A and B are shown apart, each in its own frame.
With several copies, the nearest count.
Chain A
Amino acid sequence: MDLSFKEKEGKLIVSLKGDFDLHTAPGFKEAITKKINPQIRGLILNLDGIKFIDSSGLGAILVSYKKIKGLGGELGLLNVTPQVRRIFELSGMLKIINLYSSEKEALDNIFRG
């Protein structure tokens, strides 16, 4: 899985590309831990490059959710493909995490405090 990062309006946008599973989850968790700091109040994961995700990938996203919540921030998911969305639905995580369909929508709605 490839990760790329950019910051906008104090929010960290991470684009993920590849397979998100037990093999790639540790690299994601490590990178997020390094990049997140108390200045960042919004984490936006762009998932349109994710070709595959399973419960290990979901688990890693949940970890990033807890991390940003712990700093008083919010997590949003961007460009979730139907296949990936289904896995999220089954997991119940959509009750706590919002989906957005454009970067602007995500930036406008996440942590406006």
Chain B
Amino acid sequence: MENKARLIVDSISENIGLCRVTVASFAAQLDFTLSELEELKVAISEAVSNSIIHGYKEESGKIEIEMGIFDGKLQIIVEDRGCGIEDIEEACQPTYTTEGRMGLGLVFIDSFMDEFKVESKLGEGTRLKMLKVPIQDKEIE
């Protein structure tokens, strides 16, 4: 089965829970365990929070979440048109933060998703591409 959905929200913290719930509900079409769905929720929460705080610096903007199921794999893209990241490699280091935060968001995404890629351009925005496969299907392969 193939399936696609897209959620576009205002960049305000009220919508983080909405993003988590929507992605988890979409993902539930695959055979993810409850614990995998929780991991996914953390990843989405970190990505959307980053767009709000870092991307748009709490100013108004839109965050777009693209959800897709292809070949039994879940693909999620979280995108903002905010300020962008200067040095992506540095941003991905544990505890690196520009806002006095934990610096763990991108680390959590990386550990909870099977594939994770950051694309970003200063002044244009940031796009996180993530892939997650149910553990069940991994064992079969």
Contact = CB atoms under 8 A, between A and B. Distances in A.
Given A19-B17, A22-B16, A55-B108, 16 more contacts: A21-B17, A22-B52, A23-B13, A52-B20, A54-B46, A54-B108, A55-B49, A55-B101, A55-B102, A55-B104, A56-B101, A56-B102, A58-B104, A83-B35, A90-B111, A91-B102
B75 interface: no
A21 B45 contact: yes
B41 interface: yes
Contact of A87 (B42, B52, B101): B42
A55 B105 contact: yes
In terms of DSSP, what is the predominant structure of the interface of chain A?
helix
Interface residues of B, number: 21
Interface in B1-54: 13-14, 16-17, 20, 35, 38, 41-42, 45-46, 49, 52-53
Contacts, number: 53
B104 A91 contact: yes
A62 B41 contact: no
15 contacts: A21-B13, A21-B49, A22-B16, A22-B45, A23-B16, A23-B17, A54-B45, A54-B105, A55-B102, A56-B49, A59-B101, A83-B35, A83-B38, A87-B42, A90-B108
Contacts of A22: 13, 16, 45, 49, 52-53
A36 to B, nearest CB: 20
Contacts of B38: 52, 83
Contacts of B104: 55, 58, 90-91
Interface of A: 19, 21-23, 52, 54-56, 58-59, 62, 83, 87, 90-91
Interface string B108-124: 10010000000000000
Contact of A21 (B16, B101, B108): B16
B46 A55 contact: yes
A62 B64 CA distance: 30
A103 B105 CA distance: 31
A5 B111 CA distance: 34
Contacts of B101: 55-56, 59
Contacts of A83: 35, 38
Nearest to A26: B13
A90 B114 CA distance: 16
